[in-house]
Amino acid sequence: MSSPDAAPPPGEPSAQDPARPPGEPSAQDPAPPPGEPSARDAAAAPGGPSAQDAAAAPAEPPDRLPPALSSMWRLCRLGFHYEPALMGVAFVLALAAALPDALLAVWFTLLGEGLIQHKPGLLRFAAVALAVSVVATWLLATVSTRIQRRFRDKVTIALESHVARLQAGISTIAHQERPEYLDRLSVLREQIFTLDHMYMSVFSTAGWILRLAVTVALLTSVNPVLVTLVLFAIPTVAVTSWRPVVERIAQERGAQADRLARHLFTLSTTASSGKELRVLGIGPAFAERRRASWERWYRPLAAARTRSSAWYAAGWAVFALGYVGAIVLVATGPHASPASAILVLTAGARLSSYVGATVSEIGFLRGIWMDGSRRLAWLEDYAGATAQAADLPAPAGIAQGIRFEHVTFCYPGSDRPALHDVDLFLPAGSVVAIVGENGAGKTTLVKLLAKLYAPTSGRIRIDAVDLARIDSAQWRERLAGAFQDFFRFEFRAGQAIGLGDLPRMDVEPALTAALDRAGARDVVETLPTGLRTQLGPTWHDGVDISYGQWQKLALARGFMRDEPLVAALDEPTAALDAETEHQLFERYASRARQARQGGSTTILVSHRFSTVRMADLIVVLDGARVAEVGSHDELMARGGRYSELYRIQAKAYQ
């Protein structure tokens, strides 16, 4: 684990327009969707779309894993890209170390021939050659191991960084919420730290194949028929290639059960769930459920391993029959000689060893390392397929507002709309509150506006520009906000806040201003060394703080940017009491009205109706649809859904 002290690297219309009630058509000319041609006079509106600039829609993300060989080749190219010299030297040394080892059978044959035929010169030559081969094999293997270890150390860091960049570079978060993708990413996370072994496996396999080729050539020199020994090895090689596939399929089918077992183990052994486990007495039940889940994963995997082991043993039995037949053939043939018999015995024995090592290495290569390379290749393909089709920069300001045009969205893998036919206009510079019951689509609307997902149908426009055409990274640089499901960054307090604006992460006045905006100065004042305090009890000198204090720091992080185009606060004060939340929202609204000149729009999401009365515009979501839009007084006078829910909540506080 990296040091907690180290900051993570950086990733990456007019206000007076009245709010349009849901269902009313837009007064603005619609912008073309990505990939759709538009009129040539689109340049008449600054920042408007044009036919030439229209970006193609992104390709469909791949569902199947790429082929094994092409994935392995891509990983080899990746390693060569990062460490070309070390990879080349390591590969050459792996081959060089194999050659003297493969020639040992020749020196043993000459040694035997010198002894039998009483040839002192041949005997001395064979002894020296044998000694040189043994020393060369040891020396080259030692040097090769050192070079390969250095290559592995360097390429491991490169691969981890590559995967981290791929994950961070994907503009949406669908791959982190779909169960089938989570299983793949879970396996990849486990294998990425050992994926460098695939290079070693490739080098080792090449060395064993070279040994096999030299040994087969030696056997052929005795009797061409002996080349058929290679045919007897085919069943073993075939079973070795097939065996990991069968086992991996069984393992992947049970990946969800395995993930559940790991999750239950984490729950049973970490501090965050320790209190409830002990108070509720559910620790033993979790242990039993974990065991049952593990059995559901392991039982079919064990059955697959048993079947494949039986076929593996049968393949070796076929090769053993061929090897015995080769010895009988040479020993009883018309041209039998002690030298040829010695060569067949030594080379044949080494052939058996080489075949075993080769098929074993191929098994590891195909079953573990190549499997990891396929998942990495899939992630690369996924990142490429979901690459944004944006061709416009983020705007400097919002003149008119944000318009949702018949937006419908279904989460991946679900047919039930989380938002359905949302038609909505948020005026620039306004304070907008989004309210509704749980599951109404409030958070989903914020996710779409942050480009964490793309609408299933419809579009979102910033003034006259389709949001899909705005570069995601640049757009998010102009966003600020905080979320209910915030993350606890266990860095120093100042860093945990400063992540909200990386260029100013260590600028103390900026940190102080963010704390004031979030009403979180009291949290820092209680820390032993203020902004320099290490957060998280698992670190040296780290302190533990309450959930509400973590949430206040997350709010401060969300307010690091001074002039965002959109400030989205998705129930960021759920852990606070209603009075404190109301005071904070009043502060947010006051700050937002001061920033109206640049068109900055503030979106407050809350399930507490009483805290959003100060908003300029209140949007009521109900059943994934926009039910009502208006100010507090207008909605109360209308006597609709908002008025009903407001009175119910007000009665609960009386």
Cβ neighbours of residue 132 closer than 8 Å, sequence gap 6 or more: 100
Helices marked H in 170-282 — which ranges? 179-191, 197-222, 229-253, 255-269, 274-280
pLDDT of residue 85: 92
Rounded Cα gap, residues 276 and 281, in angstroms: 8
User: Residue 50 pLDDT more than 60?
Assistant: no
pLDDT of residue 483: 80
Entry pTM: 0.61
Answer for the pair 500, 553: CB distance below 8 angstroms, yes or no.
no
User: Mind listing the pLDDT tens digit for each residue in 345-386?
Assistant: 777 777 777 877 787 777 777 666 777 788 888 888 887 777
pLDDT of residue 367: 63
Answer for the pair 430, 20: CB distance below 8 angstroms, yes or no.
no
User: Mind listing the pLDDT tens digit for each residue in 601-614?
Assistant: 888 888 777 677 88
Residues of the chain with CATH 3.40.50.300: 394-478+566-654
Q: Could you give the 3-state DSSP secondary structure of residue 567?
A: strand
Rounded Cα gap, residues 146 and 310, in angstroms: 37
| pLDDT (mean) for 222-241 | 78
**Measured over all CA atoms, what is the biggest interatomic distance in the chain, rounded to whole angstroms?**
118
Q: Which of 38-42, 371-375, 617-621 has the largest mean confidence?
A: 617-621
Answer for the pair 434, 621: CB distance below 8 angstroms, yes or no.
yes
State the SS3 of 590-625: HHHHHCHHHCCEEEEECCCHHHHCCCCEEEEEECCE
For residue 435, report the phi and psi dihedrals to the nearest 5 degrees: -125, 165
Q: Assign domain 394-478+566-654 to its CATH architecture.
A: 3-Layer(aba) Sandwich (3.40)
pLDDT of residue 373: 82
Q: Which of 54-58, 121-125, 460-464, 569-573 has the largest mean confidence?
A: 460-464
Please tell me the number of Cα atoms within 13 Å of 175 on its side-chain side: 25
Q: Which of 336-345, 356-365, 435-444, 624-633 has the largest mean confidence?
A: 624-633
Cβ neighbours of residue 104 closer than 8 Å, sequence gap 6 or more: 130, 133, 134, 137, 346, 350
Cβ neighbours of residue 544 closer than 8 Å, sequence gap 6 or more: 536, 537
pLDDT of residue 423: 93
Can you say whether residue 83 is alpha, beta or left, with left for phi > 0 and alpha for psi between -120 and 50 degrees?
A: beta
| pLDDT (mean) for 322-329 | 78
The dihedral built from the CA positions of residue 140, 146, 149 and 153, taken in this order, carries a sign that is negative
User: Residue 170 pLDDT more than 80?
Assistant: no
User: Mind listing the pLDDT tens digit for each residue in 330-350?
Assistant: 767 666 667 777 777 777 777
Can you say whether residue 519 is alpha, beta or left, with left for phi > 0 and alpha for psi between -120 and 50 degrees?
A: left
Cβ neighbours of residue 139 closer than 8 Å, sequence gap 6 or more: none
